[in-house]
Structure 1
Amino acid sequence: MPVLVVIPARFASTRYPGKPLVALTGAGGTSKSLIQRSWEAASSVSGVDRVVVATDDDRIRDAAQAFGAEVVMTSQSCANGTERCAEALENLGGGYDIVVNLQGDAPLTPHWFVEDLVKGLQNDPMAEVATPVLRCDARALNGLLEDRKAGRVGGTTAVFSKDRHALYFSKEVVPFTSKTYTDEDETPVFHHVGVYAYRPSALAAYSKWDSGPLEGLEGLEQLRFLERGRPVLCVEVEARGRQFWELNNPEDVPRIEAMMAEMGMQ
């Protein structure tokens, strides 16, 4: 079952222009761009047949090729990473049973998140799309709440049914909780990890659908599947002591660098 990993990357981000080329300094002072660190994360995943960067920008293409990545050029009309993955798959001529969208702003994504995600989709024939969710510890939940109090749009949260099919995704912290959590507590909030695994048929259908009102309000591409009644499987993954955060805003750079230093990532 051939697996393709696509890293969609665009320069003209609304919240953080030029984000893929932002430098992140790891332990020991090693500095690499966000797109390179995301590509290295994708390349560490086992069971993957090919990893490509999909972009519409020559600056990102040149930077990615300089560190050895394969690049697929896509159009500027792609509204989000899922549409870019669909176009990349088409440009490559298909030939893959599962396409993974490892978004270019998630350099801390552990390889087992993606491996568990692919297995989850393989084992659920009803699901056309799968995405990982990580139960927030107190530190992560407090970080999400702090972002919202400061008026920043940070991570995304997910709620799902007993069969693990998504009910909703939001940039608000859902479900609502007023409790103050300590390190010993298990929180009820799941952080949505910005990775997706699709069957090619789901990608082909997605690119033909118009964006729905919920996708427009939240700015979350996966809601297009839910608005069309298509099941999205939430695969719970374990942190195994690793910190996880996405780079959404300039304020996230020192936060991620601190996590990298804590984990000893070069």
Structure 2
Amino acid sequence: MSVLVVIPARFASTRYPGKPLVALKGADGSQKTLIERSWLAAKAAGGVDRVVVATDDTRIRDVAQGFGAEVVMTSSDCRNGTERCAEALAALGDNYDIVVNLQGDAPLTPAWFVEELVAGLRAAPQFDVATPVLRTHGAALNGFLEDRRAGRVGGTTAVFAADKRALYFSKEVIPYRGKTYGDDDETPVFHHVGVYAYRPAALARYVAAQPSILEELEGLEQLRFLDIGAPVLCVEVEARGRAFWELNNPEDVPRIETMLFQMGVN
């Protein structure tokens, strides 16, 4: 199965305008933009045939081409990354079996997340979409709760059935927990990692549908798949000692830079 990775990136983010071009300092003090670090994360994954950046902004295009990325220009009408992936696929030609959406705000995505996601979708033909989930320990969960108390989105959580079929995703911390957890305790909360693998037919169904009420309320594009009845596979992945955090707010920059330093990523 041929695999295309698309990194959707837009300048006009509501929460953090210009986010793809924010500079992040690595372990050696050198700075790379968020979009370059996300591109490097995509390029590190095995079994990928092609990686492209999809954007509607010439500033992002110029920076991405400057560090060697292939860029596909998409329209400003795309409402989210999934729609941008569908438009990029149409521009490139529908010649891929699996399309991976590695969102441009996830520069710490380990290569094995992408590899295991693709493997999961290949092995489960009954699913249209796959996305990784990571069981949280107390430290991460408590960070999510602290962010919510401060009015910030610290991460998206997921709940799923016994067969790993997604039941819901939320920016609130779900499911309900009747206890508190120490930093090293394993918890029942799963962090949804912002990566998706789609079959092209699922992308076509997605863009043909209107945004769902839940999608608009939560601001989570994947909820449209649940609304139209497209089965979403949650692939549980292991951190293997790697820290993971998405860049959602300006406050996340020092967190990510600290993680880059700890991992020795330049």
State the Cα distance separating 1:84 from its structure 2 match: 0.2
Aligned 8 A contact 2:157 2:190 in 1: yes
Whole-Å separation in 2 of the counterparts to 1:183 and 1:168? 25
Aligned 8 A contact 2:139 2:184 in 1: no
SS of 2:187's partner is coil
Aligned 8 A contact 2:157 2:192 in 1: yes
Matched residue, 2:258: 258
Whole-Å separation in 2 of the counterparts to 1:27 and 1:178? 39
* Total equivalences in the alignment: 266
Superimposed CA distance per residue, residues 191-231 of structure 1 (whole angstroms, 9 cap, x where no aligned partner): 00000000000011111100010001000000000011111
Matched residue, 1:52: 52
Matched residue, 2:116: 116
Whole-Å separation in 1 of the counterparts to 2:201 and 2:226? 16
Aligned 8 A contact 2:116 2:235 in 1: yes
TM-score (norm 2): 0.99
Superimposed CA distance per residue, residues 73-97 of structure 1 (whole angstroms, 9 cap, x where no aligned partner): 0000000000000000000011000
Whole-Å separation in 2 of the counterparts to 1:229 and 1:143? 32
Whole-Å separation in 1 of the counterparts to 2:231 and 2:186? 27
Matched residue, 1:2: 2
Given residue 146 of structure 2, which amino acid in structure 1 is its aligned partner? E
State the Cα distance separating 1:184 from its structure 2 match: 3.7
SS of 2:100's partner is strand
Whole-Å separation in 1 of the counterparts to 2:98 and 2:27? 34
SS of 2:265's partner is coil
Aligned 8 A contact 2:16 2:250 in 1: yes
Given residue 64 of structure 1, which amino acid in structure 2 is its aligned partner? A
SS of 2:208's partner is coil
Matched residue, 2:146: 146
Q: Kindly report which structure 2 residues correspond to 1:8-23, keeping only aligned pairs within 5 A, or say none.
A: 8-23=8-23
**CA RMSD of superposed structures (Å):** 0.7
Q: Kindly report which structure 2 residues correspond to 1:4-83, keeping only aligned pairs within 5 A, or say none.
A: 4-83=4-83
Given residue 208 of structure 2, which amino acid in structure 1 is its aligned partner? K
Given residue 100 of structure 2, which amino acid in structure 1 is its aligned partner? V
- The percentage of counterpart residues that share the same residue type is 75
Given residue 130 of structure 2, which amino acid in structure 1 is its aligned partner? A
Superimposed CA distance per residue, residues 159-182 of structure 1 (whole angstroms, 9 cap, x where no aligned partner): 000000000000000001142212
Aligned CA distance change for structure 1 residues 178 and 258 (closer, same or farther; 3 Å) = farther
Structure 2 alignment gaps of length 5 or more: none
Aligned 8 A contact 2:20 2:104 in 1: yes
1:247 aligns with 2:247: yes
SS of 2:90's partner is helix
Matched residue, 1:179: 179
Matched residue, 1:217: 217
SS of 1:243's partner is coil
Q: Kindly report which structure 2 residues correspond to 1:121-136, keeping only aligned pairs within 5 A, or say none.
A: 121-136=121-136
Superimposed CA distance per residue, residues 83-136 of structure 1 (whole angstroms, 9 cap, x where no aligned partner): 000000000011000000000000000000000000000011110000000001
Structure 1 alignment gaps of length 5 or more: none
Whole-Å separation in 2 of the counterparts to 1:184 and 1:139? 7
SS of 2:28's partner is helix
State the Cα distance separating 1:186 from its structure 2 match: 1.3
Given residue 92 of structure 1, which amino acid in structure 2 is its aligned partner? L
Range with bigger deviation, 256-265 or 59-68: 256-265
Whole-Å separation in 2 of the counterparts to 1:18 and 1:183? 33
State the Cα distance separating 1:154 from its structure 2 match: 2.1
Aligned 8 A contact 2:54 2:88 in 1: yes
SS of 2:254's partner is helix
Whole-Å separation in 2 of the counterparts to 1:18 and 1:256? 17
Whole-Å separation in 2 of the counterparts to 1:134 and 1:156? 11
1:238 aligns with 2:262: no
Whole-Å separation in 2 of the counterparts to 1:184 and 1:32? 32
